[in-house]
Structure 1
Amino acid sequence: MISANVDIVPAPFVPRMVKYLRKLLMSKKMRVTAFVQNSTNRILAVQAQEDFVDFLFSLLTIPLGKAEFILHGDTGLGSVDNLYRCIPSLNVRKSINTENHSINSLLNPTIPRNYVSVTQILPLAQKSSHMLLSKYDDFRGRHQRNLEMTDSRDMDHYELKGLKPNAYMVTDDLVVMTSSANYGVSKLQATGIPLHDIETHVLDIGMEEALNILKASLTSSFALTNGLKQSLRRRKTRKMKCSSGGETCFE
């Protein structure tokens, strides 16, 4: 990890690094199998691997201000959106403790260290480590050095370690459960929807879809249906072209 106090990276290189990291995030993909009710276009559930479930749980670590930042002040939380948008136009410094806060901490707060998933697909920044200046004397004279302060919580990761089933089942309203193929079918049958009305579609989830799921999860009980509807529409269109022979398709 590069310390903020050490000028190792040349200044002209920083924008290129930021651009590279954003491109890297944009290229990351998670793959799920969606069970879709054909008559309503509703995603009943998805079967997913650990990376997608880890991403969903990581949504709980995002401060509200950070959600506003990455969704450009358009979370769908009406009054909160208005509150966020008015900050730049007001002299907020007079109404907050500037020693402990800054305008940026309201507009773009960071996340505590090690609370960002290693599989994170959203552009989230972690807090830098706390540094303590230590001074001491020995036979050679007086010295000082920087010590990194570590929160004991840094040792705790919410990532799904040790529990690795073949897959997880995630419902439209983001209820997560471990599953197997047979278990997934039985849960779908329990909905009372005829199996002939249920289609499966393989969907790739990148940053665009992740942002849509975040927004939908804040305002809706149909987080997957609303968050993945554009991806599903594209997938169905492509599937129709494949079946009509107009396009060569590969999974």
Structure 2
Amino acid sequence: MAVTQEQGHVSLKLVVNKETNKVLFAEAGKDFVDVLFSFLTLPLGTIVRLLEKESNIGPVTIGCLNSLYHSVTDLDNCLWNRTFKEILLQPRNSSQDYCNSLKLNIDDSDSKYYVCTDFGSCSCFQLIPYTTTLNCRYGFPLTRTAFSENFCNGFVNAAASFIVTDDLIVMPNSVDYTTFALLQNLGIKSPSSVKEMTVNVNKEKVLDLLKCSLLSKTSLTNLFLEKKPIPERSRFLSFSSEEYSCIKIMLKLVIRKSDGKILYAQGEKDFADLVLSFLTFPLGGVVSKLGGNCSLGSIDGLYKSIADLNDNKYLMSKEAKNRLLDPHLLPQFKLSNKILSMDVLRYSYRYVYANGERILYVQFFKGEYENKSNLKCYEVFPTVDFEGFVKGPAMYVVTDDLVVAPLSPISALNLLNRLNTPFNDLKEKVVTIGLKEVRVHVVLLSILCHTFVFWSFYARLNFTSILSYNFSFYVVVLVQCLNILKASLTSTSALTNGLGRLLTEVKEEK
């Protein structure tokens, strides 16, 4: 056996290049691969919290995410209530039902859910993953505890074994991937050039692996041969999206003319909500919406290798694969759904009697999969009409490294003073983000008009009155929002890099 399992750790065999002292690959089984795959289910806010924990590697900073995360702690008076702060600082993993059974689970988020005190008789079917003083829509307190049912037992089949390369490419241990061919592809010409090592992986090692995976393409070498990862400098490439969105946000950018750097942006609550919602996004969903290219260490390769795995042979189910590649969101993250176009969960429930106590368990489903269950499924209704995290109407400022704060004339003056930038080097520009508006061609407009004529004849409508309205047709394409998101992962200048295409005019005027 390549992998042995004992209480509290997993034992792996590594193949190491003796000349370069680099890990070529590891032989891994279910316990290790499940943990590796679970990284994609973690929300970005959870990742930041884990990265700042002490370990052998030490605290790690990823782009602007750390500064964004810490800015939430100073927004107490701007957030609607304490629950919204908890959502941002401890966002719930919507795939807990897959991850709670992992042998080495590093996500320490609470796994409890709360329903109304009259659940079962009440038809609200509202469920929330955070303690709250809110009531359900029929007035009952949402204080009854429910537990996530861990029926999934991880992501990969127990009998399968895998090869994991240094950059976290996961391949099935099968005749299609022979050791001989793999070693040759890695530049090894003789068996005498390699050696075997047996290592133990515990939770602390998993935490360090998460850090290495986000920083480097030599994750196993950094982890097991104690070579501290050096963050790879990635050049930001703007992202083109074909996703349709209804998001339209007006901003005033304050730009330093001498170098074209966006110092900060002023906007209303919708912009602050947009940036804060990044913390709720699961890593796998981010990679998916960025076209498989988040430019974080070994994450893109890990994501692609999961996509290439046969879900019938090596994964527990197609749903398990989709939970990793296109994870769903909790219904409380309404704004997040608009940006990432993700499904929200459904659930079924059952009662279990233990020691005379009636315990409520919930089992989650996504999209098409609820129909495969013999249990009746319910949509999870949000407990409130969730329209964002911060209060409005109000103005907010977001710095280039995504620190979110309430805006006032004095705070803006203090910010400029800290940036040590004279007024004559500043330029303001009003922009619209979230949308790229393109007018529909005349041919398409003609087709639409003929369609109106056809249907107006049958519906006996007055087509002249219809044409009297001033119709404007737009193709709405989400671009800038995802550009800011990607820049937040790879740089400390998310606004400058994410909105760089909007600054041409400013650079020409400096």
TM-score, normalized by length of structure 1? 0.69
Tell me which residue corresponds to 1:209: 480
Distance 1:63-1:225 versus aligned 2 partners, 3 A rule: same
Structure with the greater relative contact order (CA < 8 A, sep ≥ 6): 1 or 2? 1
Tell me which residue corresponds to 2:310: 91
Distance 1:121-1:132 versus aligned 2 partners, 3 A rule: closer
1:103 equivalent in alignment to 2:321: yes
1:77 equivalent in alignment to 2:296: yes
Deviation at 1:48, TM superposition (A): 1.0
Q: Residues 133-156 of structure 1: CA distance to partner in whole angstroms, max 9, x if unpaired?
A: 9xxxxxxxxxxx9573648xx437
CA-atom RMSD in angstroms: 3.0
How many residues end up aligned between the 2 structures? 201
SS in 2 for 1:47: strand
**How far apart, in 2, do the equivalents of 1:64 and 1:43 lie?**
26
**How far apart, in 1, do the equivalents of 2:392 and 2:480 lie?**
24
**How far apart, in 2, do the equivalents of 1:223 and 1:147 lie?**
41
Contact 2:427–2:506 at 8 Å: present in 1 too? Answer: no
**How far apart, in 2, do the equivalents of 1:92 and 1:129 lie?**
22
Tell me which residue corresponds to 1:225: 496
Tell me which residue corresponds to 2:406: 178
Equivalent residue for 1:123, pick from 340, 345, 355 = 340
Distance 1:199-1:149 versus aligned 2 partners, 3 A rule: closer
Query: Mean alpha-carbon deviation: is it higher for 175-184 or for 86-95?
Result: 86-95
**How far apart, in 2, do the equivalents of 1:39 and 1:197 lie?**
6
Matches within 5 A, 1:12-91: 23=244, 25=245, 28-91=247-310
**How far apart, in 2, do the equivalents of 1:149 and 1:108 lie?**
19
Which runs of 5 or more structure 1 residues have no equivalent in the other structure? Answer: 1-21, 134-144, 241-251
**How far apart, in 1, do the equivalents of 2:376 and 2:311 lie?**
33
Aligned-residue sequence identity (percent) comes to 32
1:197 equivalent in alignment to 2:425: yes
Deviation at 1:97, TM superposition (A): 3.1
Q: Residues 209-245 of structure 1: CA distance to partner in whole angstroms, max 9, x if unpaired?
A: 0010010111111111111111222x548x96xxxxx
Contact 2:250–2:432 at 8 Å: present in 1 too? Answer: yes
Contact 2:256–2:425 at 8 Å: present in 1 too? Answer: yes
**How far apart, in 1, do the equivalents of 2:300 and 2:315 lie?**
19
Contact 2:329–2:345 at 8 Å: present in 1 too? Answer: no
Tell me which residue corresponds to 1:15: none
Contact 2:347–2:378 at 8 Å: present in 1 too? Answer: yes
Tell me which residue corresponds to 1:148: 378
Distance 1:116-1:45 versus aligned 2 partners, 3 A rule: same
Tell me which residue corresponds to 1:248: none
**How far apart, in 2, do the equivalents of 1:231 and 1:166 lie?**
25
**How far apart, in 1, do the equivalents of 2:494 and 2:377 lie?**
44
Larger CA Rg, structure 1 vs 2: 2
Matched letter for residue 148 of structure 1: Y
Distance 1:61-1:90 versus aligned 2 partners, 3 A rule: same
Equivalent residue for 2:389, pick from 155, 160, 166 = 160
**How far apart, in 2, do the equivalents of 1:62 and 1:158 lie?**
16
SS in 2 for 1:155: coil
Contact 1:55–1:121 at 8 Å: present in 2 too? Answer: no
**How far apart, in 2, do the equivalents of 1:182 and 1:202 lie?**
21
Contact 2:253–2:265 at 8 Å: present in 1 too? Answer: yes
Structure richer in helix, relative to its length: 1
Distance 1:230-1:105 versus aligned 2 partners, 3 A rule: same
SS in 2 for 1:173: coil
